[in-house]
Each structure stands twice: as C-alpha cells, then as structure tokens.
Amino acid sequence: MRIHDEMKAVYGDDCPSYDTVLRWKRNFKTGHMSLTDESRTGRPSLTDSAATVKKVEDLILEDRRITIHVIMHETGLRYGSVWKIIHDELHMSKMSACSVPRILTPLQRQTRRDLSKQMFSFGAR
C-alpha cells in the first residue's frame, strides 16, 4: 500500500504496522474521522460512581477491620472493583497490627517451661 510506504519513509522503524494503517484507511473511507474510540456496550463501571466509593469508604470507616469479601457482599461489587476503590480511589491500604507479647500466667509459664524441657531432652537423644 502506497500510504504505508510513504509513512515508512517518513517515520522509519517508528511507523505503525501495515495492518494498523490498513485499518485506519478503512475507517477513514467509512467516514470515521475521530481519533477517539467510540463508546462500547456493556455493563457500566460502578467504581466510577461517587455514591459507590462513598459507600465503600463508610463501610471501612465504620469497621476498620472489615475484609474485602464483606465489602463485596455489602456492595455487590467484585473483588477487583473493591480493591481498586480502596487503593486507587480512597488511597487506603491494609496495615497489620504489630504482635504484642502476651503476659503469661504462672501456670502457663510453668507449662511452657515443662514442654521446653521435654522437647530439649527428646532432641538430645
């Protein structure tokens, strides 16, 4: 095709592929002059809805230990959509609580000591 050859002469290796230029030619012949894609049919994105984002935010602020699965159940959204809202829209991330050593009762300390001695003597054999 002459158009592709002329583009190749101007753009060199950065030239679009032959198939892309052919598709563009077909589109221009049918009167499609816009450079943007036309809208497609399908289910509308719920993650763009301000009300949906607000509902997810309210659920999280109500219970900071809530899981994505619970949010999915409450909102009817899919896992990826909930994750996207939390991370991309609300800029939140899950932080794990640090482990804090628990104070053992005297009986628990004695039991732990006895078990440790048993395991140590078993390993020494």
Shared domain for 1 and 28, answered yes or no, is: yes
Identify the helix (H) or strand (E) that includes residue 18: helix 18-29
For 56, list phi and psi in degrees, rounded to 5.
-65, -45
For the chain, give the percent of residues with pLDDT over 90: 25
The pLDDT of 59-70, averaged and rounded, is: 89
Shared domain for 29 and 54, answered yes or no, is: no
Structural domain that includes position 5: 1-33
For 121, list phi and psi in degrees, rounded to 5.
-70, -30
8-12, 28-32, 65-69, 77-81: the lowest-pLDDT one: 28-32
- Within a domain: residue 124? no
pLDDT at 45: 61
- The pLDDT confidence band at residue 48, using thresholds 50, 70 and 90, is low
d(CA 123, CA 44): 63
pLDDT at 34: 75
- Within a domain: residue 45? no
Shared domain for 29 and 56, answered yes or no, is: no
Over 70: is that where the pLDDT of 120 sits? yes
Name the residue with higher pLDDT: 46 or 102: 102
- Within a domain: residue 112? no
Tell me how many domains the chain contains.
Answer: 2
- Within a domain: residue 44? no
- Within a domain: residue 118? no
d(CA 46, CA 77): 8
Of the chain, the end-to-end C-alpha distance in Å amounts to: 84
For the chain, give the percent of residues with pLDDT over 70: 84
Q: Give pLDDT tens digits for 9-42.
A: 998 988 888 998 888 888 888 888 776 767 777 6
d(CA 34, CA 50): 30
- Within a domain: residue 18? yes
- Within a domain: residue 12? yes
Going 31 to 34 to 37 to 43, the CA torsion angle's sign is negative
